[in-house]
Amino acid sequence: MMGVNGQMVSTIAIDGPAASGKSTLAKKLASKLGYLYFDTGVMYRAVTLAALRHGVPVGAEEAVSEIAQKLDLDVRPPSVKDGRQYDVIMDGEDVTWEIRSPEVDRNVSQVSMYAGVRDAMTKLQREIGARGAVVMVGRDIGTVVLPDADLKIYLDASVEARARRRFEECVSRGESPEYEDILEGMRKRDRIDSTRELAPLRPASDAIIINNTSLSVEQALEEVLELIVSREDPV
Ligand code: CDP
Protein backbone atom coordinates (compact mmCIF):
# COMPACT_ATOMS: atom_id res chain seq x y z
CA MET A 1 0.00 0.00 0.00
CA MET A 2 1.17 3.48 -0.84
CA GLY A 3 1.71 5.99 1.95
CA VAL A 4 1.58 9.77 1.58
CA ASN A 5 3.33 11.42 -1.37
CA GLY A 6 3.32 8.08 -3.15
CA GLN A 7 5.93 6.81 -0.69
CA MET A 8 5.70 3.17 0.36
CA VAL A 9 7.65 3.79 3.53
CA SER A 10 5.67 6.54 5.20
CA THR A 11 5.64 5.58 8.88
CA ILE A 12 8.95 4.60 10.41
CA ALA A 13 9.24 3.30 13.97
CA ILE A 14 12.59 3.40 15.75
CA ASP A 15 12.76 1.70 19.14
CA GLY A 16 15.59 0.76 21.45
CA PRO A 17 17.11 1.26 24.89
CA ALA A 18 18.29 4.58 26.37
CA ALA A 19 20.97 6.47 24.45
CA SER A 20 21.36 3.87 21.72
CA GLY A 21 21.48 6.68 19.18
CA LYS A 22 17.81 6.59 18.20
CA SER A 23 17.25 10.34 18.33
CA THR A 24 20.31 11.25 16.27
CA LEU A 25 19.50 8.66 13.64
CA ALA A 26 15.79 9.52 13.53
CA LYS A 27 16.43 13.24 13.28
CA LYS A 28 18.79 12.82 10.32
CA LEU A 29 16.52 10.33 8.64
CA ALA A 30 13.48 12.57 9.02
CA SER A 31 15.30 15.57 7.62
CA LYS A 32 16.57 13.52 4.67
CA LEU A 33 13.06 12.29 3.87
CA GLY A 34 11.26 15.54 4.72
CA TYR A 35 9.27 13.71 7.42
CA LEU A 36 8.29 14.77 10.92
CA TYR A 37 10.67 13.59 13.62
CA PHE A 38 8.78 12.72 16.80
CA ASP A 39 10.51 11.60 20.00
CA THR A 40 7.92 9.99 22.29
CA GLY A 41 10.35 9.84 25.25
CA VAL A 42 9.81 13.59 25.60
CA MET A 43 6.19 12.98 26.57
CA TYR A 44 7.00 10.52 29.37
CA ARG A 45 9.71 12.87 30.61
CA ALA A 46 7.28 15.80 30.65
CA VAL A 47 4.73 13.82 32.70
CA THR A 48 7.52 12.96 35.14
CA LEU A 49 8.64 16.56 35.42
CA ALA A 50 5.06 17.73 35.97
CA ALA A 51 4.59 15.16 38.79
CA LEU A 52 7.86 16.21 40.45
CA ARG A 53 6.92 19.88 40.22
CA HIS A 54 3.46 19.33 41.68
CA GLY A 55 5.05 17.40 44.55
CA VAL A 56 3.16 14.26 43.51
CA PRO A 57 5.11 11.14 44.55
CA VAL A 58 5.93 9.11 41.42
CA GLY A 59 4.56 6.04 43.24
CA ALA A 60 1.07 7.57 43.30
CA GLU A 61 -0.31 5.93 40.18
CA GLU A 62 -3.69 7.60 40.10
CA ALA A 63 -2.43 11.11 40.69
CA VAL A 64 0.38 10.70 38.12
CA SER A 65 -2.10 9.33 35.56
CA GLU A 66 -4.35 12.33 36.12
CA ILE A 67 -1.41 14.63 35.44
CA ALA A 68 -0.72 12.76 32.18
CA GLN A 69 -4.32 13.16 31.05
CA LYS A 70 -4.31 16.90 31.69
CA LEU A 71 -0.83 17.67 30.42
CA ASP A 72 -0.57 20.69 28.12
CA LEU A 73 2.41 19.70 26.00
CA ASP A 74 3.73 20.99 22.71
CA VAL A 75 6.82 19.94 20.76
CA ARG A 76 7.93 22.53 18.19
CA PRO A 77 10.88 23.26 15.91
CA PRO A 78 13.89 24.57 17.89
CA SER A 79 13.81 28.30 18.71
CA VAL A 80 17.23 28.44 20.42
CA LYS A 81 20.57 27.33 18.99
CA ASP A 82 21.91 25.49 22.03
CA GLY A 83 22.14 21.97 20.67
CA ARG A 84 18.46 21.18 21.14
CA GLN A 85 16.54 19.22 18.50
CA TYR A 86 13.17 20.79 19.34
CA ASP A 87 11.45 23.00 21.92
CA VAL A 88 9.41 21.19 24.53
CA ILE A 89 6.73 23.52 25.90
CA MET A 90 4.80 22.45 28.99
CA ASP A 91 2.01 24.69 30.28
CA GLY A 92 3.49 27.52 28.22
CA GLU A 93 7.00 27.10 29.65
CA ASP A 94 10.14 25.95 27.82
CA VAL A 95 11.23 22.76 29.64
CA THR A 96 13.48 21.36 26.88
CA TRP A 97 16.48 20.92 29.16
CA GLU A 98 14.69 20.40 32.42
CA ILE A 99 13.16 17.14 31.19
CA ARG A 100 16.76 15.83 30.81
CA SER A 101 17.64 16.41 34.48
CA PRO A 102 19.04 13.54 36.57
CA GLU A 103 15.90 13.67 38.72
CA VAL A 104 13.67 13.08 35.68
CA ASP A 105 16.07 10.35 34.49
CA ARG A 106 15.74 8.56 37.82
CA ASN A 107 11.95 8.64 37.90
CA VAL A 108 10.77 8.44 34.28
CA SER A 109 10.71 4.65 34.01
CA GLN A 110 8.41 4.28 36.98
CA VAL A 111 6.00 6.88 35.60
CA SER A 112 6.06 5.09 32.24
CA MET A 113 4.78 1.85 33.77
CA TYR A 114 1.31 3.19 34.50
CA ALA A 115 -1.62 2.24 32.23
CA GLY A 116 -3.25 5.66 32.65
CA VAL A 117 -0.06 7.38 31.55
CA ARG A 118 0.58 5.04 28.62
CA ASP A 119 -3.01 5.19 27.36
CA ALA A 120 -2.97 8.99 27.25
CA MET A 121 0.43 9.15 25.51
CA THR A 122 -0.29 6.31 23.07
CA LYS A 123 -3.48 8.03 21.94
CA LEU A 124 -1.64 11.26 21.10
CA GLN A 125 1.16 9.35 19.39
CA ARG A 126 -1.28 7.42 17.19
CA GLU A 127 -2.94 10.66 16.08
CA ILE A 128 0.44 11.94 14.95
CA GLY A 129 1.32 8.60 13.34
CA ALA A 130 -1.94 8.46 11.40
CA ARG A 131 -0.91 11.52 9.38
CA GLY A 132 2.06 9.57 7.95
CA ALA A 133 5.42 10.96 6.83
CA VAL A 134 6.80 10.46 10.31
CA VAL A 135 9.81 8.96 12.04
CA MET A 136 8.63 8.10 15.55
CA VAL A 137 11.10 7.14 18.27
CA GLY A 138 10.52 5.31 21.53
CA ARG A 139 10.35 1.95 23.27
CA ASP A 140 7.02 0.53 22.01
CA ILE A 141 6.39 2.25 18.70
CA GLY A 142 6.77 -0.86 16.52
CA THR A 143 5.07 -3.17 19.04
CA VAL A 144 2.15 -1.13 20.39
CA VAL A 145 1.81 2.43 19.10
CA LEU A 146 2.17 1.84 15.35
CA PRO A 147 2.07 -1.94 14.84
CA ASP A 148 1.42 -1.33 11.11
CA ALA A 149 4.45 0.94 10.62
CA ASP A 150 5.99 0.55 7.16
CA LEU A 151 9.48 0.11 8.56
CA LYS A 152 10.52 -0.88 12.08
CA ILE A 153 14.06 -0.45 13.33
CA TYR A 154 15.32 -1.64 16.70
CA LEU A 155 18.53 0.21 17.46
CA ASP A 156 20.66 -1.48 20.08
CA ALA A 157 24.14 -0.85 21.56
CA SER A 158 26.11 -2.13 24.54
CA VAL A 159 25.19 -0.54 27.86
CA GLU A 160 28.76 0.76 28.24
CA ALA A 161 28.68 2.49 24.85
CA ARG A 162 25.30 3.99 25.71
CA ALA A 163 26.43 5.23 29.13
CA ARG A 164 29.56 6.73 27.54
CA ARG A 165 27.42 8.57 25.00
CA ARG A 166 25.09 9.93 27.69
CA PHE A 167 28.13 10.92 29.81
CA GLU A 168 29.56 12.92 26.94
CA GLU A 169 26.22 14.60 26.28
CA CYS A 170 26.07 15.75 29.93
CA VAL A 171 29.67 17.02 29.87
CA SER A 172 29.00 18.99 26.69
CA ARG A 173 26.11 20.70 28.49
CA GLY A 174 28.54 21.83 31.21
CA GLU A 175 27.52 19.23 33.81
CA SER A 176 30.02 17.13 35.81
CA PRO A 177 28.51 13.66 36.03
CA GLU A 178 30.12 10.44 37.25
CA TYR A 179 30.30 7.81 34.50
CA GLU A 180 29.56 5.02 37.01
CA ASP A 181 26.36 6.74 38.17
CA ILE A 182 25.15 7.11 34.61
CA LEU A 183 25.94 3.46 33.86
CA GLU A 184 24.10 2.29 36.97
CA GLY A 185 21.09 4.51 36.26
CA MET A 186 20.93 3.25 32.70
CA ARG A 187 21.05 -0.42 33.77
CA LYS A 188 18.21 0.24 36.18
CA ARG A 189 16.09 2.02 33.54
CA ASP A 190 16.74 -0.79 31.02
CA ARG A 191 15.60 -3.31 33.61
CA ILE A 192 12.35 -1.49 34.41
CA ASP A 193 11.59 -0.70 30.74
CA SER A 194 12.10 -4.26 29.53
CA THR A 195 10.37 -6.13 32.35
CA ARG A 196 7.28 -3.96 32.79
CA GLU A 197 3.90 -5.54 32.11
CA LEU A 198 2.61 -2.95 29.64
CA ALA A 199 4.41 -2.26 26.36
CA PRO A 200 7.82 -3.53 27.50
CA LEU A 201 10.93 -2.61 25.54
CA ARG A 202 11.54 -5.35 22.96
CA PRO A 203 11.96 -5.58 19.20
CA ALA A 204 8.75 -6.16 17.21
CA SER A 205 8.77 -9.53 15.44
CA ASP A 206 9.14 -7.72 12.11
CA ALA A 207 11.72 -5.16 13.27
CA ILE A 208 15.17 -4.94 11.71
CA ILE A 209 17.73 -5.00 14.51
CA ILE A 210 20.75 -2.75 14.06
CA ASN A 211 23.62 -2.88 16.53
CA ASN A 212 24.92 0.65 16.80
CA THR A 213 27.80 -0.03 19.22
CA SER A 214 30.51 0.65 16.70
CA LEU A 215 28.71 2.34 13.82
CA SER A 216 29.09 6.01 13.00
CA VAL A 217 25.95 8.11 12.61
CA GLU A 218 26.49 8.12 8.85
CA GLN A 219 26.85 4.33 8.71
CA ALA A 220 23.64 3.75 10.67
CA LEU A 221 21.81 6.25 8.46
CA GLU A 222 23.15 4.55 5.34
CA GLU A 223 21.86 1.15 6.53
CA VAL A 224 18.37 2.49 7.10
CA LEU A 225 18.28 4.36 3.79
CA GLU A 226 19.26 1.15 2.02
CA LEU A 227 16.41 -0.67 3.74
CA ILE A 228 13.98 1.99 2.58
CA VAL A 229 15.22 1.82 -1.00
CA SER A 230 14.98 -1.97 -1.03
CA ARG A 231 11.38 -1.82 0.22
CA GLU A 232 10.30 0.87 -2.20
CA ASP A 233 12.02 -0.69 -5.16
CA PRO A 234 12.06 -4.44 -4.57
CA VAL A 235 14.09 -6.32 -7.17
O1 CDP B 1 16.73 9.61 25.75
P2 CDP B 1 16.66 8.29 26.43
O3 CDP B 1 16.87 7.17 25.49
O4 CDP B 1 17.46 8.22 27.69
O5 CDP B 1 15.20 8.10 26.98
P6 CDP B 1 13.86 8.58 26.32
O7 CDP B 1 13.71 8.01 24.96
O8 CDP B 1 13.72 10.05 26.51
O9 CDP B 1 12.78 7.83 27.25
C10 CDP B 1 12.73 8.05 28.65
C11 CDP B 1 11.88 6.96 29.28
O12 CDP B 1 10.52 7.10 28.84
C13 CDP B 1 12.26 5.53 28.94
O14 CDP B 1 13.28 5.04 29.79
C15 CDP B 1 10.94 4.79 29.14
O16 CDP B 1 10.74 4.47 30.50
C17 CDP B 1 9.90 5.82 28.73
N18 CDP B 1 9.39 5.64 27.37
C19 CDP B 1 8.42 4.71 27.17
O20 CDP B 1 8.02 4.00 28.10
N21 CDP B 1 7.86 4.53 25.93
C22 CDP B 1 8.27 5.29 24.89
N23 CDP B 1 7.69 5.12 23.71
C24 CDP B 1 9.30 6.24 25.06
C25 CDP B 1 9.85 6.39 26.31
Percent of the chain with pLDDT over 90: 87
Least confident of 5-19, 25-39, 51-65, 214-228: 5-19
Supply the pLDDT for residue 25.
97
pLDDT at 3 over 50: no
Give the pLDDT band of residue 57 (cuts 50, 70, 90): very high
Which of 193, 197, 202, 212 has most ligand 1 atoms within 8 Å of its beta carbon, as the pocket-test mutant? 193
Supply the pLDDT for residue 233.
76
Report pTM. 0.92
Domains of the chain: 1-35+132-235 (3.40.50.300), 42-131 (3.40.50.300)
pLDDT at 22 over 90: yes
Give all strands of the β-sheet with 93-94 in edge-to-edge order: 73-76, 87-90, 93-94
Give residue-wise pLDDT tens across range 137-165: 999 999 999 999 999 999 999 999 999 99
pLDDT at 1 over 50: no
- Ligand 1 pocket residues where CB is under 6 Å: 18-19, 40-41, 44-45, 108-109, 112, 138-141, 189, 193
Amino acid at 71: L
| DSSP line for 179-231 | HHHHHHHHHHHHHHHHH-SSS-S---TTPEEEE-TT--HHHHHHHHHHHHHHH
